[in-house]
A = this chain, B = another copy of it.
Amino acid sequence: MNLVTSVPLPAMPEADTPALLVDLDRVERNIERMQSACERRGLAFRPHIKTHKLPQIAHMQLRAGAAGVACQKLGEAEVMADAGVADIMLTFPIIGAVKASRLARLAERVRLSTVADSEVGVRGLSQALAEHGGEVDLLVECDTGFGRTGVQSPDDAADLAELAASLPGLRFAGLMTYPTQAQTAEWIARARAALAERGLQAQRVSGGGTATAFDELEGGEVTELRAGTYVYGDRACVANGTVPLDSCAAVVRATVVSRPTAGRAILDAGSKALTSDPAAGADVAGFGLVIEHPEAEIYRLSEEHGHVDVSRCERPPRIGDVVSVLPNHACVVTNLYDDVVVHRSGVLEGVWPVAARGLVS
């Protein structure tokens, strides 16, 4: 069963394989769908640009009604500022004087919000901002169950908020968490109470993640949603039901370069074109879905070779055939390509540099 129309891209050097292709018609539909879903629930929407790293798509998201963008690296935020994005949230703890100073300079030219989960982080930001004479909105990052960054209890959140509110250069703005989960609302409610005891208020509570973006639980305590992967979709999104297969907008085009046996095909897309990432949370095998041959399985990756089991294909691909691979995880794949080939339902629109990739930090 093939649910995705193959993209008949014109043969041209710009699209020689392997190449990352992005369908702007589908991107627009995905943007519209998420923006509407947030607006229906009264949530501000802040798309995460780590997925596409493209100023052009950031502006499409903003034109559709986004409150601003989220970035995961300072370098991404600088590229977005250069491209005219006016409201940027950096959702990664900035540590060290070099980066804090860069952040302070960035705050001079955009409305900037950022996060911290430690006293070291809060004091470092404050010092750099005080030196530069700027201010940012500071959200305290809360670990509401994921087990990554974030303070570990509502009381710790309130203590760190109190410190931030007392220091120059920082406006305490609220709380941030990732991803929004079933227990997040209760955690945030307790943090609000702890903040109130200290005379503070979380005006913004920023939650995130494509996987839970359409769940009812996003309501309640969260005021703002961040999501990135929804804009492209990928094999994990298809598996968890957040993006249908026929809405997935980014595929890796690859050529069958060898058919050494009846059951094996080799693509010119390996771990340097698809990454070794699994489809997170999905019970699907292999390193991507070959859209034209859904019975095939990319069972192994060399750096430049994709090893495909085609033994279950009725009409297996031949040497020279070009296929479209839906990646397991779109965000890490974007990060491999200097350029993406953008089109609208197969009609070439251009080749865009992935402006925010490859940055040192």
Q: Which residues of A does B touch, CB under 8 Å?
A: 11, 13-14, 16-19, 50, 72-73, 92-96, 98-99, 117-118, 120-121, 143, 147-152, 255-261, 264, 266, 268, 271-272, 275-278, 302-305, 307, 319-320, 331-332, 335-339, 358-361
Cross-chain pairs A/B with CB under 8 angstroms, 22 sampled: A13-B98, A14-B360, A17-B361, A18-B361, A72-B303, A92-B304, A92-B305, A93-B258, A96-B320, A118-B259, A147-B264, A148-B266, A149-B260, A150-B260, A271-B332, A272-B332, A275-B276, A276-B276, A276-B277, A276-B278, A303-B331, A337-B358
Contact B358 A16 (CB under 8 A): no
Instruction: Tell which of A14, A304, A360 has the most Cβ of chain B within 10 Å.
Output: A360
Cα distance A149–B143 when bound, in Å? Answer: 47
Q: A16-B361, A260-B143, A302-B148 are in contact. Are A277 and B266 (CB under 8 A)?
A: no
Of the candidates B11, B120, B271, the one whose C-beta lies within 8 Å of that of A98 is B11
Is chain A's binding surface mostly helix, strand, loop or mixed? loop
Given contacts A72-B303, A95-B320, A151-B260, 4 further A-B contacts (CB under 8 A): A93-B257, A276-B276, A276-B278, A337-B358
A258 close to B361 (CB less than 8 A)? no
Q: Is the CB of A335 within 8 A of B336?
A: yes
Contacts of A93 in B (CB 8 A): 257-258, 266
